[in-house]
Amino acid sequence: MASTLAILRPSAPAPLAGGRARAAAPATARVALSSRSRYSSARVSLGSEVAVGADALFADYKPTTAFLFPGQGAQTVGMGAEAQSVPAATKLFNQANEILGYDLLDLCTNGPKEKLDSTVISQPAIYVTSLAAVEVLRARDGGQDVINSVDVTCGLSLGEYTALAFAGAFSFEDGLKLVKLRGEAMQDASDAANSAMVSVIGLDSEKVQELCDAANEEVDENERVQIANFLCPGNYAVSGGVKGIEVVEAKAKSFKARMTVRLAVAGAFHTSFMQPAVSRLESALAATEIRTPRIPVISNVDAQPHSDPDTIKQILAQQVTSPVQWETTVKTLMGKGLEKSYELGPGKVIAGILKRINKGASIENIGA
């Protein structure tokens, strides 16, 4: 979701980032790097464009320890309970109440489930609870050492905002305002069209694409479907018009899918159905201070880290209408030598995905 915002100097490390200030370089057209820097000024591509200089700061990143943040769907009534015993975590919920205008912690801990599951509530709830989990970890013996060891971060869809906040790209408060608007804009876009999402279980991505192609032959253009979430082998989410989704469900068995699961979301996320949300997000991002992250934050759009604030805004603008490249992200991290991961926030969705991609992956869940 994002667009033009003036390139601003990185500020002092924000409390949530907590880790070492690995790459706080001025977000100018040129980035001065010492010969000992672990990051090069190589070229990286973004769609049809090629970014150089500031956006290539993390081009040769070598991950060892990652923080991974969940997306919508991870919410559950009762989350946030542990945060109440950690003052720094409780403070985040209190700050959130002022921004959101309602008692978020009460909704997280007591529900009702139907309200917590709504797009406009679940996205802020997961964002705040996930960052509260960082504070829960920090309060534990050795927790600050773990935080200091983190040298890469990413999040699933919504979780990308949480990762950017952790990495100091924007403040907790600014990130929450963006997430609040994102949830509202996505809900409004969903209300404007009859759309849905379904998980297809048991097929590789090529077969799921063939299934989508077959479904699209039977529906009008405004009902077409596409892969929206590349999660892990055997689990891909398809988004599109309700009629297209129904055809996918009807044809899945003939393509040897094990099952389909209709997702409890408002609409066809990560497709052109979300286009009405983009302009609102661009306007909000244009008014938000975004800084160069201190550590690489891997984008859902292209599975690459970006360091230039304007590029990050463009990436976030594209995110709501672009497929989530989570499988590529995880495989890339592991291929580059990732040794340990932590899932921070509600649920264990990311841990399950990681284990599907690599059974030997080391991941620990930190809830709040």
CA distance 138 to 292: 23
CA distance 225 to 247: 10
Catalytic residue among 130, 239, 270, 322: 270
CA distance 208 to 215: 10
The structure tokens listed for 159 are 């979780």
Catalytic residue among 122, 157, 190, 239: 157
The structure tokens listed for 117 are 């599951």
Do the Cβ atoms of 164 and 170 come closer than 8 Å?
Answer: yes
The contacts of residue 142 (CB under 8 Å, 6+ apart) are none
DSSP bridge pairs for 262: 198
CA R_g for the chain: 20
Q: Is 270 a catalytic residue?
A: yes
Do the Cβ atoms of 258 and 225 come closer than 8 Å?
Answer: no
The contacts of residue 111 (CB under 8 Å, 6+ apart) are 77
Q: Is 306 a catalytic residue?
A: no
Positions marked catalytic: 157, 270
